[in-house]
Structure formats: structure tokens, C-alpha cells
Amino acid sequence: MNTGEIAALQKEHLMPTYAPGIALVEGSGSFVWDAEGKEYLDFVSGIAVTNIGHCHPKMVHAVQDQVETLVHVSNLYYNEKQPVLAKSLAQHAGMPGAKCFFANSGAEANEGLIKLARLWGSEHGKYEIITMRQSFHGRTLATLTATGQDKVKTGFGPLPEGFAYANFNDIESIKGVITPKTAAVLVEALQGEGGVIPADSEFMSDLRKLCDEEGILLLCDEVQAGMGRTGKWFGFQNYDVQPDAFSLAKGLGNGFPIGAIVAGEKLADVFQPGHHATTFGGTPLACAAAQAVVDVIEQEDLLMNTQMMGAYLAEGLCEIALKHKKWIECVRGFGLLLGLVLDVPAAELQKKLQEKGLLALATAGNVLRLLPPLNVKQEEVEQALTLIGEACEELHEEMAAQSPNPCQCGMGE
Ligand SMILES: *Cc1c(COP(=O)(O)O)cnc(C)c1O
């Protein structure tokens, strides 16, 4: 089928929740190809999912071997892949006493995290979860309520009770909403959907202190920032803090659906038999995929590559931003979760880049979000920077031409 045929079939048979433009049919490493055979450098990575690139041979073999051996047995039986994977996640988190619960998506992992915090607090009548404005935590009823963006909530009420909202990077704002019913504060160390906004170091350490003083939990949503994306195993490791528990999904399975809750000692044994469950969570197949991801990140030193390529990409983006400082504000983020912050909607730039063969994301209106795989090569970053430079140049000229008086809108020279 060509793209037009696929689009027509989709229009007829799928709910119109998404509005894709191109049909992708194949991927390898940092590249994908569409139904017409056009090649794209993929700096979206399926939204921070294919962190070790498309069809990494180690992942392909791990999944092939496992699919021939055992796919699913349910959690009624031991499955050695789960504790082995859980142990390595806890070790990489620097939380040796931590225990995991495996789920199937980010929303489900966060839903479990919310339940865990509520069960922990239930003895003392604490159930409220404080989340940040502009945060994103998923689309189930509880997680969309936790999400600090009104646009995902409209029309879905009544929403579950027990959530309060504070301003990100504003410790006073958090203090202002803590009540005797507060069980936890849930934060992303680096907000992805919110526009690639990192937490301030001071905010994170103040928050850890505040939670300890108030006897409430600090929870991190690591669904997007986790699994090496920021150049550390987990986003919170960019700060000198440790959460009481955190959630994972996206990059954990490199595209094989798997999510997880990783809970430190305080929460490790709060869920007892009957408290929480899932049929699919942590199947031998999902765990084989995730274990391959962990092994590849370790063996190929991808945290180092993420730091180096992230710095290289950020530097190139800064040069572009400087050149267009009238309409590009700054570059922000960690590792390979970077945002080019514009003064204009990012959709235009994203579209131009796609035409040129670079996939990127427009986020929070005016942010171009770049998420290459963690094993991206320097020449691929260079190629992306060339395309972004060209696209910005073109956009600059178009904006200048559209404006009757370029000087007034600040676009002309
Ligand atoms: C994507 C995302 C989620 C939701 O994950 P799903 O797998 O889409 O349910 C939750 N939190 C954050 C920070 C995310 O980026």
C-alpha cells in the first residue's frame, strides 16, 4: 500500500485520535523509511522509546530466541527474567533494596505508583498526590488527572479526587498545597511533554528535604527521562536526590511494551498479594526485550555516548539559536532529550525538517524536541544539524518575506 491508500484505510477504520502524515514501514539504527521509500533520520525514536535504535541486532535476537521458547505464562508462575531485570534496574538506580512491579505502559506504571502511594498513606489518612503544572503522566483517568495540563482533561469528568497541583521549580508553591492528607509529590526530573524543562538542582534537593520533613513520599515519573535518555540511567541521577519510588516505560523495552515501578525500601513491600496485578506485566518476552536494552546500554557504553552526542548536538543547536536569536530563544534539556525553544510555533520547523528527511517533534507549542537514539553516531548528529540549520535559514527568510515591515516584527535585519 502507498501512503495515500494507508491513510484512506485508517480514516475509515481507526478512531481519529492521531493525525499522522507519513507511513513508516522499516527502520534500522537511526533511520526509518516510509511507504514510498523515502529515508528519514529519526530524531523522534518513537517518542523516546527506541533508545538503542531500530531493530538493534541484540534486541532482535533476544526477542526471536524468547518468542521460540516461552512468550507468556501470567504472574501465577515464576519467570526468572523478572527478578534478573528488576535486580539490574535497582542496581542502576543506586537503590539496592528496591523492588519492582512490571506493567505494560507508562500510564499503567504511574497508575500503580499512585496506588502504591495511596496504600502507603492509607494508615494515616493520607492519599493526596501533588503534581506539577505542565507535567505529563498518562491518559488513564487517574494519570490524566495527575497530569498538570487542562487540555487532556476536558470532557472526561468527573475526575478522581485526591490530586493537587503546584508550580514546577517552585518549592514555595509545593509548600502551599501540602495538607495533612498529602501522601506524595510526583515529579518528572526533566519534563518532556511539558516542553523539555529540567528541574533546577536547588528545587530537587529542597523537594527531597521537604518531603522528608513532612513525612511524604517523593515519586519520580521516569517514563520519558529514564533508561539513559538524559545521559544517566535515570533522570533524577542528574541531581543529588533519590526518590522513594519511580516509574519507567518508553525506553525500557525499545518498543516492546513494558513498564515498571521501582520502589525503594520504604515502599518495596507495601503491595502484598491481592493489592495490585496485571495479566501481561513482565512476560518472559517483554522482559527479554528489556534485558537486551539494559545489556546494550551497558555493553556499548551508551550513557557516555548520550553525554557526548548530547553535548555535541546541544552545541550545534546553540550555534543555530545564536544565528537566529531574534526568534530562537534557547536550547535546554539533558543528554539526548533536547529542546530548541522558539518564539514561534514549532510545527512549521518540524514540517520543514520532515520534508528534508529529519524526524523531530513539536512540543508545548513552541519547542522543537529532539530525541535521537542513544547510540546515534556523530555523523548523524552532524547531518541533523545541517538540516536544522538549513530549515531555520529558510524559515527565517519566509518570516521576513511575510512581514510587511520586517524590522517591526523583529525578524529582519
Ligand atoms: C509518555 C509518558 C507517559 C505515558 O506513557 P504511556 O506509555 O503513553 O502510557 C507518562 N509519563 C511521562 C513522563 C511520559 O513521557
Atom of ligand 1 nearest to the CA of 193: 15
Yes or no: say if 351 and 406 are a contact pair by the CB < 8 Å rule: no
Q: Work out the burial of residue 184: count CB atoms within 10 Å of its CB; fewer than 13 is exposed, 13-18 middle, 19 or more buried.
A: buried
| pTM, to two decimals | 0.96
The residue among 135, 140, 172, 170 whose CA lies nearest residue 156 is 140
pLDDT of residue 240: 87
End-to-end CA distance of the chain: 47
Return the CATH architecture of domain 61-299: 3-Layer(aba) Sandwich (3.40)
CA of 105 to the centre of ligand 1 (A): 7
Map out the domains of the chain as residue ranges: 61-299
CA–CA separation, 52 and 49 (whole Å)? 9
Please give the angle made by the CA atoms of 378, 384 and 388, to the nearest 5 degrees.
Answer: 145
| Pocket flag, ligand 1, residue 188 (CB < 6 Å) | yes
pLDDT of residue 407: 54
403 in helix, strand or coil?
coil
CA of 158 to the centre of ligand 1 (A): 22
* 368 Cβ neighbours under 8 A, 6+ residues apart: 339, 340, 342, 346, 349, 350, 353, 360, 361, 362
CA–CA separation, 395 and 356 (whole Å)? 13
The three three-digit cell numbers of residue 180, written as one number: 495533612
pLDDT of residue 402: 86
For a mutational test of ligand 1's pocket, the pick from 108, 136, 139, i.e. the residue with the most ligand atoms closer than 8 A to its C-beta, is: 136
| Pocket flag, ligand 1, residue 121 (CB < 6 Å) | no
CA–CA separation, 193 and 85 (whole Å)? 27
CA–CA separation, 391 and 296 (whole Å)? 34
CA–CA separation, 213 and 208 (whole Å)? 9
For a mutational test of ligand 1's pocket, the pick from 224, 230, 371, i.e. the residue with the most ligand atoms closer than 8 A to its C-beta, is: 224
Going residue by residue through the chain, which has 413 residues, state the pLDDT in tens, using 9 for 90 and above.
999 999 999 999 999 999 999 999 999 999 999 999 999 999 999 999 999 999 999 999 999 999 999 999 999 999 999 999 999 999 999 998 999 999 999 999 999 999 999 999 999 999 999 999 999 999 999 999 999 999 999 999 999 999 999 999 999 999 999 999 999 999 999 999 999 999 999 999 999 999 999 999 999 999 999 999 999 999 999 998 999 999 999 999 999 999 999 999 999 999 999 999 999 999 999 999 999 999 999 999 999 999 999 999 999 999 999 999 999 999 999 999 999 999 999 999 999 999 999 999 999 999 999 999 999 999 999 999 999 999 999 999 999 898 765 554 444 43
What is the DSSP secondary-structure string of 170-195?
Answer: -HHHHHHH--TTEEEEEE-SEESTTT
CA of 342 to the centre of ligand 1 (A): 24
CA of 102 to the centre of ligand 1 (A): 15
> Which residue is it, cell 542528574?
238
